[in-house]
Amino acid sequence: MVGSELQNIISREGIQENVPLAPYTTFRAGGPARFFVTPRNEAEFAALVRFLEKRHEKYFVLGRGSNLLVSDKGFEGTVIYTRKMLNRIVKTEDGQGFSAQCGVLLQDLSAQALASGLHGLEFAHGIPGTVGGAVLMNAGAYGSEIKDVLRSARILGRDGQIREVPQKELDLSYRHSAISDGSGFVISAEFVLTPGDPKAIREEMNELMRRRKEKQPLEYASAGSTFKRPAGHFAGGLIESAGLKGTLHVGDAWVSEKHAGFVVNKGHASASEIYAVIRAAQEAVYKNSGVLLEPEVRFLGDFS
């Protein structure tokens, strides 16, 4: 019934059923979504949320899927996919920044900044997510975070209303925002940058990418850092101290031998195998150090 009613909100071409989600995540694992819908614009996005909330239907907003593990059983709800259509970048009137929709890839936004000679987004060059997810979780790397360059964000509440929220009201901190609890979704965000030398910007981007390739297992499918950084520690160091680096695995799911903070898919790992490695790492680290690692990865679907 939901499928037919969705056609009253978006075009038939934007609605698919039983779509495998593995290709839409960087872990390359997971089962299908009952409905997979692609809003063409912000109005359709808002209308979808209003409809699904009114019907008390389960739904999930998906961008790059770079911080997500989907159950092998899939998701018995509606996935709203933003990356395909909600991907417009517009320069601000003062020419010192950009407004970017939620589906814009961070790598595309940082490339646009480079082309415009604007400094501030170099750190985002190698982050595989979208603007929506980056603002939601205050993405960061190498000492910089999204909050450092964010002026404001347009937030879609679960009531289907869109409001502009200044950076200071988003409560941005380490992997956290005022809406990271699921109370809202990023529609777009405005970034403030500073003029810079394109050559210097490119050199910094290249240097950060070199460091990523040297220290991170980019050759394998993963969701980046699997765990949040615990206070006073580094997750990778705790996992390595527990003797798990390059040794703990279930099937093709491994704790990386290059960086113990990454759980990687070395071939055809199932979501259940990846999940098992994550849980095993948590248990071993807690037993070894007394620190309970909190996953940075989000879980969608039934993992029981």
Residue 4 is predicted with a pLDDT of 80
Q: Which of 57, 151, 296, 298 is catalytic?
A: 296
Is 296 a catalytic site residue?
yes
Residue pLDDT, tens place only, 163-201: 999 999 999 999 999 999 999 999 999 999 999 999 999
pLDDT, tens only, 217-243:
999 999 999 999 999 999 999 999 999
Rounded to two decimals, the pTM is 0.95
pLDDT for residue 13: 87
Looking at residue 1, what is its pLDDT?
A: 59
- The pLDDT tens digits for 14-30 are 999 999 999 999 999 99
Query: So what's the pLDDT on residue 5?
Result: 86
The CA-CA-CA angle for residues 268, 139, 27, to 5°, reads 5
State what percent of residues in the chain have pLDDT above 70: 100
Low-confidence ranges of the chain (pLDDT < 50): none
What's the mean per-residue pLDDT of the chain? 96
Cα radius of gyration (the chain): 19
pLDDT at residue 146, as a whole number: 98
Opening angle at CA 17, ends 16 and 21, nearest 5: 90
Domains and CATH numbers, the chain: 2-81 (3.30.43.10), 89-213 (3.30.465.10), 217-300 (3.90.78.10)
In this structure, are residues 119 and 196 in contact, taking their beta carbons and an 8 Å threshold? yes
Options 175, 180, 190, 222, the catalytic residue: 175
Is residue 225 part of the annotated active site? The answer reads yes
Active-site option among 225, 256, 270, 273: 225
Helical packing angle, 106-115 and 198-215, nearest 10°: 150
Query: What is the pLDDT at residue 251?
Result: 98
Task: Give residue 35's pLDDT.
Answer: 97
